[in-house]
Amino acid sequence: MKVVVAVTAASGGIYARQLLCQLVDSEQVERIALIFSTNAEAVLATEGVVLPESSKIVRYSNDDMFASVASGSQNWDAMVVVPSSVGTVARIAAGTSQSLIERAADVMLKERRRLIVVVRETPLSLIHLRNMTTLTEAGAVVLPASPSFYSRPETVEALCATVTERIVALLGISAPHYKWGE
């Protein structure tokens, strides 16, 4: 499986780190395209988040519209925008494709491939909700970064993993995760 991971300047870099670690460790994942929005790295640094490095990860500049992820013919299987700002949600919903993140998301939608948008914003305005509705109607999965407490997580890492595990499951990747009633 080939997965595109886009990191925007929304707070919640821990989700990107946990997801990348799971993808790197998965035998089902052969390649990961990593794209940062303009201010994503500054937010990661502010939060003290360091992303993993791996030979599986290929980094692309957000202004590289010639990157393989910008074309449907390259057959990337899925994309996760994590964390996603509501500004990124709006631009994807509008189909503007002025950056590689937006174009890669547009490709996922037009090719009917899996697009998961992990929204990290609160509260949400009516405009935000309408943009998320538009993405859902277009075939994306909107997954708010809302951790669950069923598993009684005892650390921030474990709490955030409840979101990351949902992302991995939605990608169709086999990995250990909490199951209700176990």
Q: How far is it, in rounded angstroms, from Cα 13 to Cα 149?
A: 20
Q: pLDDT tens, position by position, for the chain (182 residues)? A: 999 999 999 999 999 999 999 999 999 999 999 999 999 999 999 999 999 999 999 999 999 999 999 999 999 999 999 999 999 999 999 999 999 999 999 999 999 999 999 999 999 999 999 999 999 999 999 999 999 998 899 999 999 999 999 999 999 998 776 666 66
Q: How does DSSP classify residue 90?
A: H
The residue assigned the tokens 């199951």 is 179
Question: Which of 88, 97, 108 has the alpha carbon at shortest distance from 37?
Answer: 88
In sequence order, the β-bridge partners of residue 33 are 4, 58
pTM score > 0.85 for this model? yes
Q: How far is it, in rounded angstroms, from Cα 135 to Cα 131?
A: 6
